[in-house]
Amino acid sequence: MPILAYRDALNQAMLEEMERDDNVYLMGEEVAEYNGAYKVSQGLWEKFGSRRVIDTPISEGGFSGIGIGSAMVGLRPIIEFMTFSFSLVAIDQILNNAANMRYMSGGQFSVPIVFRGSSGMAGCLAATHSHRLESIYAHFPGLTVVMPATAADAKGLLKSAIRSDDPVIFIEHENLYGEKGEVPEGDHLTPIGKANVVRAGSDVTMLTYSRSLITTLAAAEQLAGEGVSAEVIDLRTLRPLDMDTILASVLKTHRCVIIEENWPYCGIGAGVADRIYQQVFDELDAPIRRVTAKDAPIPYNRKLEASMLPTVERIVAKVNDVLYRKA
C-alpha cells in the first residue's frame, strides 16, 4: 500500500473523481495556476484545464453561490476555501441556501456540493485565521460535516463527499497536510457517518477527531505504560454522528474523555457528551471529562498558541480523573 502525504491523498481523491465524472469541478482562490494555497490541487489545472479548475476572485460569498447554483442544475462542485475562517464571508450562502434547498424545495433540488479547506491553529496565524468552525456547521440540519485525521481517510472521505447528493463541509487541518500514511489505491471510499476504533481498550473511551487524534494516541501510549487500557475512537464525521460505535465503547469501558482542539463552550464535545448522558447515563462510572483548546482568542506568538492546545499531559490528567487514579 503506497505511503502518501495527507495533501497528496486529497489530490488523488479529486483527480480520481474528476476522471470518473465530468460533472465534478474545482473552484476557489489560487486552485488553478498556483496549484492551491497548500498545493492540494497540484497538477489538476494542467490536466483538466480552466473549465474544470477555476481560479476565483477573493469573494467567498460570490463563488460559493455560483457553486450552489451549479449543483442545483446537476454539477458536482468542490469549493475550496483558502481557510475555513474565510467561509464566514459565505455563511449566508452555505446555511440559508445550500443547507436548506432540498427541504425548502420539497425535494425538487439537491445540492451535491463539497466545501473544503484548511482549519485550526497552524502556526502563528493569529485569531482571524485560526478559527475552528465545525461546531457552527454541525449545528445546522441539512449539512454533513467531515474532519479526517489520516491520509487514508482524507482520500476515502473526500471521494464519498464528492459523491454525496447533499452539501458536505469537509474540514482539513493545516498541520496535517504533510502527515504521511498508507493510502489504498483505486476506488477507496470511507463511509460518511462511521467512526473508526483506532485503538482497542477496556478501561476508558477516548473520543477525538482531526489533528487531536495524534495527541490522543500519544496519551493512550503513555497510559498503556501505566497499566491503563484506553480505547481511542476517531469520530471522522461530526454530523451525522456515529452514536452506535460511541455507545458500544462507553458500555464496555464505562468511562469517557473527549479531546478536541475546539473551544469548550458549545463545542462538539459538549454535544457528544450530552448524547451519551441521555442514552447511557446509568452505565457511566464517572462523569465525562473534556480536553479542549483554552477559552480565548488564538494568540500570534508560537509558544502562547501551543499553550492553547490539548496536550498529552492534560489528556492523561483527565483520564486519571475519570479512573479515580492519583497522578
**Active site annotation includes 60:** yes
Lookup: cell for 304: 502562547
255 CB-near residues (< 8 Å, 6+ apart): 203, 204, 205, 284, 285, 286, 322, 323
Lookup: cell for 48: 483538466
Q: Which of 268, 271, 267 is nearest to 295 (CA)?
A: 267
DSSP 191: P
Lookup: cell for 194: 462511521
Find out whether 96 and 126 touch, Cβ atoms under 8 Å. Answer: no
d(CA 9, CA 296): 33
Per the residue annotation, which of 60, 80, 134, 172 is the catalytic one? 60
Per the residue annotation, which of 16, 17, 29, 129 is the catalytic one? 129
**Active site annotation includes 188:** no
Place of cell 463563488: 63
d(CA 134, CA 170): 9
Lookup: cell for 133: 468552525
Find out whether 288 and 152 touch, Cβ atoms under 8 Å. Answer: no
- Catalytic sites, residue numbers: 60, 129
